[in-house]
């Protein structure tokens, strides 16, 4: 809503000076200090443009603005025009809007009719689900929810790494060493042990690698027995992944692996890739490289190294599959955008593949984006020092349980503390992941992970429970009318300003594919919130004041809950 006001003001400036409103709009900013006002317009550039003295210019605008609605005062400081919003009327209008729109406040229709595919999480079947996989999962899921909130039709695809040499290796290990007798027990850990064991023994025993090669070959030749084993192995791994997704609250519309299985579970990747190679050859995009490998060469000016599509031994690669899969997705969905939520090390790979899409003249070229993110540092799958996600989760849940017991022993009378502990733990984990810019590497630091103080998920959830607590105590439906004039304190005004910034924040997060913007926004809200009820009572003797404040509280709860949901964090009633 603040943006709408700014737009109106920009038009006022346009009328006065002739400078396009759009340009003026972009100059508006938040003053450094609260005392300066609510919105500032630096006049330096504007004045220069029409060759007027900055001070005259600002003064002239100041006079104009003194009669504009929703503005209570205008002031010139230095080269700035500082505007103060008429608090009561703005607050009245905003709160009414939030309460009326409820769940939908901040949503939009900008994405109506548009389909976005999000390829995320995409674990390799042959590797255990570590903390590192968390990033793609959490980031992709959050982006999906954010885009959906803005009206896009979102299709989440889990592109499983269910084919290739890695999988074959694990199949060998599985066949040799997996103990099927106690199926229920710690499957994920056992699979992880297989993984570590295989890579260790492989070094001393080259036999194993050969065996794996054989398995892969038999798979690619669709040998029945191998395929059966393959399916069994996939099923076992998938069951583990599903459990983790369940805990994290993540859903996919499609589990589609590299194998490109059909409904009956028969892999079609081989034929698909053959046709890709044929098609690219017809388009004269392939050249022969060393040893007869087929490669795609790019324009020298672009400085992109060549991309291999077929090895000299005739087998295909990751990139080949990428093309085949993209074509398949296009046939199926005719998407407007496709987001690949994959780590930053694959940047070049996507640069090459996307460029190839263009060269091949595919209709979806230019609609694809690599949503890169930094990695967790200090972990390696091969050496076995990897931190298993489930272990971290269990530790977090245990910690949450303890904190609950200590701080809110009454909880078990009304809720299941185990469930709450889980939601708190997941909230902590997700927030810790999403609060930073996605490109940044994350150092795995157990202590930080386990902290519930300060800028953390539980801090936000806590702020939400306090709002719920007040609303619970109030116990009635919201007052139909309230007098926003009574919300006169700076603390309340700050909150109103926060509320007004929600839709812009969501939009911004979506545009930049950066959920961290929402995370930071929520921290600001929660911190202002805590300050507010440190200093003011909501439920007090004066009925009118109570009515006004409870309306503010209700509006804040809506926004906080929605923001948390968008990130994938449960807004709790109690904790």
List the interface residues with RNA, window 452-481 (CB under 7 A).
Answer: 452-455, 458-459, 462, 465-466, 469-470, 473
Query: Smaller CB distance to RNA: residue 70 or 298?
Result: 298
Least gap, CB of 486 to RNA (angstroms): 14
Q: Are 114 and 541 in contact (CB under 8 A)?
A: no
Write each residue from 523 to 562 as x if it is in contact with RNA (CB under 7 A), else as -, in one continuous string: x---x--xxxxxxxxxx-----------------------
d(CA 458, CA 523): 11
Position 29 contacts RNA (CB under 7 A): yes
List the interface residues with RNA, window 44-63 (CB under 7 A).
Answer: 44-45, 48
Three-class secondary structure assignment of 87-135: HHHHHHHHHHHHHHHHHHCCCCCCCCCCEEEEECCCCECCCCCEHHHHH
Where does this chain touch RNA (CB under 7 A) — which range of 30-38, 58-66, 357-365, 389-397?
30-38
Size of the site for RNA (CB under 7 A): 94
d(CA 132, CA 386): 9
Least gap, CB of 304 to RNA (angstroms): 8
Least gap, CB of 30 to RNA (angstroms): 8
Of positions 318, 330, 362, 444, contacts RNA by CB under 7 A = 318
d(CA 58, CA 41): 9
List the interface residues with RNA, window 113-132 (CB under 7 A).
Answer: 124
Where does this chain touch RNA (CB under 7 A) — which range of 55-63, 135-143, 267-275, 436-444?
436-444
If you write DSSP's letter for every residue of 474-517 in order, what string do you get? H-SPPPS---GGG--SHHHHHHHHHHHTHHHHHHHHHHTT-THH
Write each residue from 293 to 312 as x if it is in contact with RNA (CB under 7 A), else as -, in one continuous string: x-x-------x-xx-x--xx
The helix/strand/coil state of 32 is coil
Of positions 179, 263, 290, 299, contacts RNA by CB under 7 A = 290
Angstrom CA distances, 422 to 107, 238, 301, stand at 28, 22, 53
Of positions 18, 33, 179, 185, contacts RNA by CB under 7 A = 33
Position 207 contacts RNA (CB under 7 A): no
Helices (H) and strands (E) in the chain, counts: 21, 13
Of positions 135, 435, 494, 557, contacts RNA by CB under 7 A = 435
Query: Smaller CB distance to RNA: residue 247 or 411?
Result: 411
Of positions 440, 485, 489, 544, contacts RNA by CB under 7 A = 440
Least gap, CB of 68 to RNA (angstroms): 18
Least gap, CB of 358 to RNA (angstroms): 18
- CB neighbour burial string for 351-384, b if at least 16 within 10 angstroms, e if fewer: bbbbbbbebbebebeebbbbbbbbebeeeebeee
Q: If residue 455 lies in a helix (H) or strand (E), which one and from where to where? A: none
d(CA 46, CA 9): 14
Query: Smaller CB distance to RNA: residue 345 or 366?
Result: 345
Query: Which pairs from 24-33 meet CB under 8 Å and 24+ separation?
Result: 31/80, 31/82
Least gap, CB of 18 to RNA (angstroms): 18
Angle at 160 between CA 157 and CA 164, to 5 degrees: 145
d(CA 532, CA 383): 50
Q: Are 423 and 410 in contact (CB under 8 A)?
A: no
Residue 7, C-beta contacts closer than 8 angstroms, at least 6 positions apart: 21, 25
Where does this chain touch RNA (CB under 7 A) — which range of 15-23, 94-102, 157-165, 184-192?
157-165
Least gap, CB of 549 to RNA (angstroms): 8
Write each residue from 159 to 198 as x if it is in contact with RNA (CB under 7 A), else as -, in one continuous string: --x-xxxx--------------------------------
Of positions 280, 520, 551, 566, contacts RNA by CB under 7 A = 520
Where does this chain touch RNA (CB under 7 A) — which range of 40-48, 191-199, 204-212, 331-339?
40-48
Of positions 217, 443, 446, 542, contacts RNA by CB under 7 A = 443
If you write DSSP's letter for every residue of 255-280 in order, what string do you get? E--TT-B-TTS-B-HHHHHHHHHHHH
Closest among 497, 526, 488, 518 to 2, alpha carbons compared: 497
Query: Smaller CB distance to RNA: residue 229 or 396?
Result: 396
Closest among 462, 460, 461, 431 to 448, alpha carbons compared: 431
Least gap, CB of 204 to RNA (angstroms): 21
List the interface residues with RNA, window 356-395 (CB under 7 A).
Answer: none
Position 349 contacts RNA (CB under 7 A): yes
């Amino acid at each position: 809503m603040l943006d709408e006001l700014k737009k109106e003001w920009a038009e006022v400036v346009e009328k006065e000076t002739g400078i396009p409103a759009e340009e003026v709009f972009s100059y508006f900013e938040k003053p450094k200090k609260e005392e300066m006002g609510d919105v500032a317009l630096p006049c330096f550039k504007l004045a220069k443009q029409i060759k007027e003295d900055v001070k005259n210019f600002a003064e002239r605008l100041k006079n104009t603005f003194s009669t504009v609605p929703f503005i209570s005062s205008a002031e010139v400081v230095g080269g700035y025009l500082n505007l103060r919003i008429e608090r009561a009327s703005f607050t009245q209008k905003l709160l009414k809007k939030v309460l009326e729109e409820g769940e939908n406040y901040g949503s939009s229709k900008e994405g109506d009719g548009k389909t976005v595919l999000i390829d995320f999480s995409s674990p390799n079947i042959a590797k255990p689900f570590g903390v590192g996989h968390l990033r793609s999962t959490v980031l992709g899921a959050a982006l999906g929810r954010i885009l959906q909130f803005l009206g896009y039709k979102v299709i989440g695809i889990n592109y499983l790494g269910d084919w290739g040499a890695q999988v074959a290796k694990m199949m060998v290990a599985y066949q040799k060493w997996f103990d099927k007798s106690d199926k229920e027990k710690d499957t994920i850990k056992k699979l992880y042990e297989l993984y570590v064991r295989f890579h260790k023994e492989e070094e001393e025993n080259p036999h194993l690698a050969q065996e794996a090669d054989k398995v892969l070959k038999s798979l690619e030749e669709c040998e029945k027995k191998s395929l059966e084993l393959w399916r069994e192995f996939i099923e076992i791994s998938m069951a583990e992944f599903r459990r983790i997704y369940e805990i994290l609250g993540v859903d996919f519309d499609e589990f589609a692996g590299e194998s490109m299985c059909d409904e009956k579970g028969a892999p079609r990747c081989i034929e698909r890739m053959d046709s890709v190679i044929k098609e690219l050859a017809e388009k004269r995009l392939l050249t022969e490289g060393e040893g007869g490998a087929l490669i795609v060469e790019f324009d020298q000016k672009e400085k992109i190294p060549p991309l291999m599509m077929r090895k000299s031994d005739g087998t295909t690669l990751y990139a080949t599959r990428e093309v085949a899969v993209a074509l398949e997705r296009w046939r199926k969905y005719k998407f407007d955008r496709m987001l690949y939520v994959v780590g930053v090390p694959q940047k070049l790979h996507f640069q090459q593949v996307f460029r190839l899409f263009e060269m091949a003249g595919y209709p979806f070229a230019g609609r694809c984006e690599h949503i890169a993110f930094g990695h967790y540092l200090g972990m390696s799958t091969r050496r076995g020092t990897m931190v298993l996600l489930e272990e971290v989760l269990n530790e977090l849940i245990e910690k949450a349980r303890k904190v609950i017991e200590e701080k809110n022993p009454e909880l078990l009378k009304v809720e299941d503390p185990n469930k709450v502990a889980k939601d708190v733990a997941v909230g902590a984990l997700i927030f810790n992941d999403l609060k930073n810019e996605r490109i940044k590497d994350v150092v795995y630091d157990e202590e930080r992970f386990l902290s519930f103080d300060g800028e953390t998920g539980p801090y936000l959830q806590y702020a939400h429970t306090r709002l719920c607590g007040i609303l619970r105590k109030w116990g009635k439906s919201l007052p139909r009318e309230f007098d926003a004039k009574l919300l006169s304190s700076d603390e309340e005004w700050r909150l109103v300003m926060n509320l007004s910034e929600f839709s812009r924040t969501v939009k911004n997060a979506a545009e930049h594919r950066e959920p961290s913007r929402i995370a930071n926004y929520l921290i600001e809200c929660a911190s202002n919130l805590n300050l507010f009820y440190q200093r003011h009572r909501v439920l007090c003797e004066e009925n009118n004041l109570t009515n006004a404040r409870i309306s503010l509280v209700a509006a804040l709860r809506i926004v906080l809950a929605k923001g948390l949901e968008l990130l994938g964090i449960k807004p709790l009633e109690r904790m």
